[in-house]
Amino acid sequence: MTNRTEPGSLPSEVSLSRRLTCSACGTEFGCDLSGNCWCAEEPARLPMPTAGGDCLCRDCLRKAAAKYAQATST
């Protein structure tokens, strides 16, 4: 996982924006911890990953949500 704050932030500032790498496919994407992140707009709410997993990109989150929904509907 890549967890970097955006360039230009001062060390004493708390940056709410970071760049992540999807733990499923490796795609880099942005995350805004202030609540304006794209994932807050997604209807799916999945359990937090375990065993070293982390945030997923939009495509992988949607795929995981569909798989989770299918597995829990039977």
Contact 56, 64 (CB under 8 A): yes
3-state per-residue secondary structure call for 11-22 = CCCCCCEEEEEC
Q: Specify the pTM.
A: 0.66
Structural domain boundaries in the chain:
4-72
Q: How confident is the model at residue 34 (pLDDT cuts 50, 70, 90)?
A: confident
The candidate with the shortest Cα–Cα distance to 15, out of 5, 25, 2, is 5
Residues 19-33 pLDDT 10s: 889 988 999 998 887
